[in-house]
């Protein structure tokens, strides 16, 4: 536990007492555990959220749901409302919005998997809440406090992705906005930060794995990691997922697509069903080293 200041980080004891008292640990062993649709976060299980970047079609999302479930995933991810980086659209590169939310509902019915999907605007909260089990606040909206407060008020669990330029202190501030509304089911997700240079031009972000143990010194909330968005590069997803589990991540979000190279969004990062199945087995082995598990074996 920190004394006056967390080692090398920007969080003080005063911050913990006054700026984010609800997000802060009360003692060394204080870690939140909560249930989302029968799956416990913050315990020995490391829930896996997997699926395509975008809910492209009903066929794609149902096929993906069936396959990730078969491999042991606990939640289906997929965006219908997407923070696409550029405004231009084609037949393929276009949000599926209300229709996409409906298709997530079909996939949920077919497989029983819980759903996590992004909300970008308050006016779509009611619609999205009809289907989703977890509301995703995307990295770009980490400091959209009115959106976080409104999402928290629905009482749906929230996963708040860290902005790629945010400090741990800022990230915990975002969590505090959600906790302040009386919503205790808040997950934080590291998804890569921007640094002056990364290892290749196409790798936009650097996975900040140190933030997992650093965050756990300060907060009791479960910390998820999304190696797909962080690496932006398929061959690095498996090693970084294993490293995330080793680092103590409480949940992993992964992009999985039936035909990764033809993903409508970010085609360099999703993995296929076979790679996902193998990765689940490898992550489970690493989880066992830390006394945790992913699969039921």
Q: Applying CB under 6 A, which residues contact ligand PEP?
A: 53, 79, 83, 118, 138-140, 161, 191, 226, 229
Please report how close the Cβ of residue 46 comes to Mn ion at its closest, in angstroms: 10
Spatial contact of 249 and 226, defined as CB atoms under 8 Å apart: no
Q: Which is nearer to ligand PEP, 36 or 134 (CB)?
A: 134
Please report how close the Cβ of residue 283 comes to Mn ion at its closest, in angstroms: 9
Please report how close the Cβ of residue 78 comes to ligand PEP at its closest, in angstroms: 8
Spatial contact of 226 and 186, defined as CB atoms under 8 Å apart: no
Spatial contact of 83 and 53, defined as CB atoms under 8 Å apart: no
Please report how close the Cβ of residue 71 comes to Mn ion at its closest, in angstroms: 13
Partner in contact with 229, chosen from Mn ion, ligand PEP, none, beta carbon below 5 to 8 Å by kind: ligand PEP
Partner in contact with 165, chosen from Mn ion, ligand PEP, none, beta carbon below 5 to 8 Å by kind: none
Partner in contact with 277, chosen from Mn ion, ligand PEP, none, beta carbon below 5 to 8 Å by kind: none
Q: Which is nearer to ligand PEP, 173 or 227 (CB)?
A: 227
Q: Which is nearer to ligand PEP, 21 or 146 (CB)?
A: 146
Q: Which is nearer to ligand PEP, 6 or 230 (CB)?
A: 230
CA distance 5 to 67: 46
- Please count the residues of this chain forming the interface with Mn ion, following the rule CB under 5 A: 4
**Do β-strands 114-118 and 251-255 pair in parallel, antiparallel, or remain unpaired?**
unpaired
Residue 10, exposed/middle/buried by CB under 10 A (0-12, 13-18, 19+)? exposed
> Which positions from 236 to 275 touch Mn ion by CB under 5 A, shown as an x/- string?
----------------------------------------
51: left (phi over 0), alpha (psi -120 to 50) or beta: left
Partner in contact with 25, chosen from ligand PEP, Mn ion, none, beta carbon below 5 to 8 Å by kind: none
Write the DSSP assignment of 202-229 as a string of letters. Answer: T---B--TTHHHHHHHHB-S-EEE-HHH
295 binds Mn ion (CB under 5 A): yes
Spatial contact of 219 and 15, defined as CB atoms under 8 Å apart: no
Spatial contact of 230 and 192, defined as CB atoms under 8 Å apart: yes
Q: Which is nearer to ligand PEP, 79 or 222 (CB)?
A: 79
- φ, ψ at 103 (rounded to 5°): -65, -35
Partner in contact with 83, chosen from Mn ion, ligand PEP, none, beta carbon below 5 to 8 Å by kind: ligand PEP
Please report how close the Cβ of residue 126 comes to ligand PEP at its closest, in angstroms: 21
In the range 106-135, which residues lie near Mn ion by CB under 5 A?
Answer: none
- Please provide the distance, in angstroms rounded to a whole number, between the alpha carbons at the two ends of the chain: 33
3-state SS, residue 118: strand
Cα-atom radius of gyration of the chain, to the nearest Å? 18
Partner in contact with 241, chosen from Mn ion, ligand PEP, none, beta carbon below 5 to 8 Å by kind: none
Residue given tokens 């999304």 in the structure block: 226
Nearest residue to ligand PEP, by Cβ distance, number only: 138
Q: Which residues bind Mn ion (CB under 5 A)?
A: 284, 293, 295, 297
């Amino acid at each position: 536990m920190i004394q006056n200041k967390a080692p090398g980080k920007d969080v003080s004891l005063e911050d913990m007492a006054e700026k984010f008292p609800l997000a802060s640990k009360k003692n060394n062993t204080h870690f939140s555990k909560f249930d989302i649709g029968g799956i416990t976060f913050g315990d020995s299980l490391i829930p896996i959220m997997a699926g395509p970047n975008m809910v492209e079609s009903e066929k794609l999302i149902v096929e993906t749901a069936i396959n990730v479930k078969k491999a042991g995933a606990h939640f289906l991810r997929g965006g219908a409302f997407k923070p696409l980086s550029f405004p231009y659209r084609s037949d393929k590169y276009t949000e599926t919005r209300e229709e996409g939310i409906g298709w997530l509902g079909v996939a949920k019915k077919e497989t029983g998997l819980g759903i996590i999907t992004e909300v970008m605007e308050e006016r779509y909260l009611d619609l999205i809440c009809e289907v989703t089990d977890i509301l995703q606040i995307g990295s770009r909206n980490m400091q959209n406090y009115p959106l976080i407060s409104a999402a928290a008020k629905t009482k749906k669990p929230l996963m708040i992705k860290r902005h790629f330029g945010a400090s741990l202190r800022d990230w915990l501030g975002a969590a505090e906005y959600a906790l302040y509304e009386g919503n205790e089911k808040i997950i934080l997700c590291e998804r890569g930060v921007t640094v002056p240079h990364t290892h290749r031009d196409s790798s936009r972000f650097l996975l900040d794995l140190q933030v997992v143990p650093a965050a756990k010194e300060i907060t009791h909330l479960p910390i998820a990691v999304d190696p797909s968005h962080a690496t932006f590069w398929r061959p690095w997803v498996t090693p970084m997922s294993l490293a995330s589990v080793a680092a103590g991540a409480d949940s992993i979000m992964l992009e999985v697509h039936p035909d990764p190279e033809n993903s409508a969004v970010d085609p360099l990062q999703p993995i296929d069903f076979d790679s996902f199945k193998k990765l689940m087995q490898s992550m489970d082995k690493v989880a066992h080293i830390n006394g945790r598990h992913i699969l039921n074996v």
